[in-house]
Structure 1
Amino acid sequence: MKWQGRRKSDNLEDRRGMSSGGKTIVGGGIIGIVILLLNVFGGENAQMLTPILEQMNQGQSAPTEQRDLTAKEIEERDFVNAVLVDNEDVWTTIFNENNLTYKKPNLVLFTGAVATKCGNASSDSGPFYCPGDQKVYMDLSFFEELKTRFGAKGGDFATAYVIAHEIGHHVQTLLGTSAKMRQMQQGKSKAEANKLSVALELQADFYAGVWTHYNQKMNAILEDGDLDEALSAAHAVGDDAIQSKMQGHIVPESFTHGTSEQRKFWFLKGYKTGDIQQGNTFESIR
């Protein structure tokens, strides 16, 4: 991905290098594995975890120490900043085209554990968006695990796709889609509620594709292999792919994010059309 030369965003918070004084925030061990399995690309589901996370993290201390970032971490920060800036510019443009105002979210980089308005979480949760504070949270070690544990190709555009997906959840919050989805889930069976969650996640993939479409027009960002990196990441985090790797069989009624093929389809539809009006994933699940 061509990303150098971007302005500096005021909405990037780099909390890496901070120490919590030896205390561990929830997410490690078997709880972390369960959260990762059910909540890769946390999205709006982070809000559902809040009561559990808060209860299990009572008494945890805030970060007390900080070290200097390494040269690699600084380069990672600069890349994430560039992707965030491009998302700010693209979504401001799209909202303006639709006579709307885009409120920019913050993106928080952390290592190991982080406190949010959706509760405390660890890197095992995977990247997630918290609607309570309208921030995206990411531990960049997730992307190494995406390659080694789930078989994704990796690459910088895989990271860009994940960031764009999470900011897609912010777009859904601003448009009221997330709140409507939660209302629709009320009174539904778990299987039916899960279908609505899948639709929300697939729409975030679609928005990631729309962002790629616009960003290519505005900044000519794509290099050879970039789309393959995004599609490989989308395939790796499909519910069927994760369940097959983690438990050896799949349970479709438990899906919350969509299959590998669904995730790739909606990302590509967003990229090819660039039309935010064509992202009604909720109609597709009926």
Structure 2
Amino acid sequence: MTFNDNADISGNKVKRRGRTTGIAVGGGAVGVIVIALISQFLGVDVSGILGGGGVGGGQQEESQLSDECQTGADANANVDCRMGGAYSSLDAYWAEELPALGVDYTSPADFIIFDQQTNTGCGAATSATGPFYCPPDQTIYIDTSFYAELRDRFGASGGPLAEMYVVAHEWGHHIQALTGIMDRADRSGTGPASDSVRIEVQADCFAGAWVAAASDTEDAKGVAFLKPVTQQEIDDALSAAAAVGDDRIQEAATGQVNPEAWTHGSAEQRQRWFMTGYQSGPSACDTFSVSADQL
């Protein structure tokens, strides 16, 4: 999607975090846990595909993205600023939408763009982890180099909406944390109808709901953040959703598909639930009330 050039995104709270010093080479246990357990977007261990290792302690420099990302024009020109624009739009959308669903809304505690590796409330993370939401610190983490991986290694078509879909999906996990859905779900199970999959496709559904309302979501001055979505942009988002389906990842990694090992849903499930949110809004995203054959 394209931002309106004069939209005000200066209120975004995105931070850019520099490269960690004092990296522990060799892939420690914490790094393994991160790649295996908290990759909320990819949902599978992609270390064999992307590589990656552990992260040790060290100091990290941070800068506030809003210092350089002020307008929609900035968001259109720069991927980091696009993350800031997505923050502003998603924050405004959910601040209005979630109370309408009967739940108080609070913004994520942080949104961190990092370079290659970082320390988080969930442990140490690398770019191989993929974008993720960490419930203990209520923070979204993303290395924007992932978008090139999404295109070049996973075959997604790319595009600005595909990038913002990733953010909207992770924001969906924040909504699940606020509503208690994440705590109530049994995320230890696997399979196409497991709670793990229901959590993930619901986040896709929430992302679709935001996309549908994005061109009507306004900044404090009444300017819409984003222009109306095009069919090509929807296709780009659906391409991204399919590219990280469990079946696609499994086939790319092993040449086989094992539905009983799924944790985040097939390409078809992820696309379908994105469109459910897009067509019917967040109230239609109760993935926990549908039967296994409807999921």
The question of a shared fold, defined as TM-score above 0.5 by the shorter chain, is answered with yes
Partner of 1:125: 129
1:75 aligns with 2:81: no
SS at 1:144's partner residue? helix
1:235 aligns with 2:242: yes
| Partner deviation per Cα, 1:168-192 (whole Å, 9 max, x = no partner) | 000000000000004xx57xxx446
| Partner deviation per Cα, 1:95-149 (whole Å, 9 max, x = no partner) | 2323432101121100000111100100100000001110100000111011111
Partner of 1:61: 58
Which residue of 281, 284, 288 corresponds with 1:278? Answer: 284
Distance in 1 (alpha carbons) for counterparts of 2:25 and 2:112? 17
Partner of 1:51: none
Deviates more, 1:172-181 or 1:210-219: 210-219
Tell me by how many angstroms 1:79 deviates: 1.1
Partner of 2:50: none
Partner of 1:197: 196
* Superposition CA RMSD, Å: 3.3
Contact 1:117 1:132 in 2 (8 A): yes
Consecutive unaligned residues of structure 1, counting only runs of 5 or more, are 47-55
Q: 1:284 to 1:82 in 2, by over 3 A?
A: same
Q: 1:191 to 1:41 in 2, by over 3 A?
A: closer
Partner of 1:114: 118
Partner of 2:150: 146
Aligned letter for 1:142? F
Contact 1:129 1:170 in 2 (8 A): yes
Q: 1:26 to 1:167 in 2, by over 3 A?
A: farther
| Partner deviation per Cα, 1:195-248 (whole Å, 9 max, x = no partner) | 110000000000001111121333344135110110000010000011011110
SS at 1:284's partner residue? coil
Contact 1:128 1:138 in 2 (8 A): yes
Higher helix share: 1
Tell me by how many angstroms 1:284 deviates: 3.0
Partner of 1:7: 9
User: What are the within-5 Å matches in structure 2 for residues 1-286 of structure 1?
Assistant: 1-3=1-3, 4=5, 5-15=7-17, 18-21=18-21, 23-24=23-24, 35=35, 39=39, 41=41, 57=55, 60-63=57-60, 75-105=78-108, 106-182=110-186, 190-191=189-190, 195-218=194-217, 219=224, 220-274=227-281, 276-286=282-292
- Please report the TM-score for the alignment, with normalisation by the length of structure 1: 0.81
> Could you tell me the percent identity over the aligned residues?
35
Distance in 1 (alpha carbons) for counterparts of 2:267 and 2:238? 9
Residue-pair matches, total: 262
Distance in 2 (alpha carbons) for counterparts of 1:119 and 1:234? 26
SS at 1:108's partner residue? strand
| Partner deviation per Cα, 1:61-100 (whole Å, 9 max, x = no partner) | 223799xxx9999822211111110001110110232343
Contact 1:206 1:267 in 2 (8 A): yes
SS at 2:163's partner residue? helix
